[in-house]
């Protein structure tokens, strides 16, 4: 794996020049912000920067990228950087994960890379109001909420009609279950599905816990019931 990664990075450097500068430019950072200096810590480790370089290059070549590091290596911050990249490139990052509680982890990672207003920039497709709001810290009112159901439905219908995000919102947070058809719908798309389809041409999908994308294991029903 080390040899393959080294070859890939060398080939990329021949195309784009200095890898650190390439990533810093794509994410809108200075080199000091990216990697740090003697006076301050950077947002990313050298390994994360290498992974980001390869991922960004793949996206710009209309290809996907899979990162499979173990827990604690820093996948969350890598994913946050790719969401930032999408916004910087005029795309609509769509972050899809297993359950709404994981939104808070991603907002914290976005804040950790300098996007302090991230929570206010996200369109959440789930209904998260009041007691269902997700706390981001111990500070009062520091939570993730969604719009009230009638307004959220209207927003989804507007996106479906125009293919445009509401003013001030840069990215979408949703779950795999939110992308499914309603039980008994006979394949009729929900407002959320129609909105995501309308955004698809300028969206960048970021699939967290991607092994969940296929849904849960189907249950076998024997002939005798």
Residue 43 phi, psi dihedral angles, 5° rounding: -75, -25
Split at pLDDT 50, 70, 90, the class of 222 is very low
Question: Is it the case that residue 166 has pLDDT exceeding 90?
Answer: yes
Split at pLDDT 50, 70, 90, the class of 107 is very high
> What's this model's pTM, rounded to 2 decimal places?
0.89
Question: Is it the case that residue 151 has pLDDT exceeding 60?
Answer: yes
* Count of residues making up the chain: 225
Q: What is the dihedral of CA 4, 57, 84, 23, to 10 degrees?
A: 80
Average of pLDDT values for 171-188? 83
Task: Tell me, rounded to whole angstroms, the distance of Cα 47 from its chain centroid.
Answer: 20
CA pair distance 61, 49, nearest whole angstrom:
18
Token pair belonging to 128: 């998260």
pLDDT tens-digit profile of 14-44? 999 999 999 999 999 999 999 998 888 999 9
Split at pLDDT 50, 70, 90, the class of 189 is confident
Predicted pLDDT of residue 164: 95
């Amino acid at each position: 794996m080390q040899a393959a990664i080294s070859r890939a990075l060398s080939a990329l450097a021949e195309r784009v020049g200095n890898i650190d500068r390439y990533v810093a430019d794509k994410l809108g950072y200075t080199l000091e912000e990216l990697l740090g200096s003697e006076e301050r810590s950077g947002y990313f480790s050298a390994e994360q920067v290498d992974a980001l370089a390869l991922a960004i290059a793949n996206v710009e070549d209309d290809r996907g990228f899979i990162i499979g590091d173990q827990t604690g290596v820093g996948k969350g911050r890598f994913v946050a950087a790719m969401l930032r990249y999408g916004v910087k490139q005029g795309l609509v990052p769509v972050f899809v994960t297993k359950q709404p509680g994981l939104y808070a982890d991603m907002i914290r990672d976005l804040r950790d890379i300098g996007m302090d207003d991230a929570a206010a920039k996200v369109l959440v497709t789930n209904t998260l109001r009041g007691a269902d709001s997700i706390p981001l810290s111990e500070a009062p009112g520091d939570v993730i909420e969604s719009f009230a159901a009638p307004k959220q439905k209207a927003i989804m219908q507007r996106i479906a009609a125009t293919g445009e995000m509401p003013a001030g919102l840069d990215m979408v947070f949703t779950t795999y279950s939110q992308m499914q058809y309603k039980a008994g719908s006979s394949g009729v798309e929900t407002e959320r599905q129609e909105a995501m389809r309308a955004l698809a041409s300028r969206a960048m999908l970021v699939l967290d816990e991607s092994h969940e994308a296929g849904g849960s294991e189907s249950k076998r029903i024997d002939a005798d019931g």
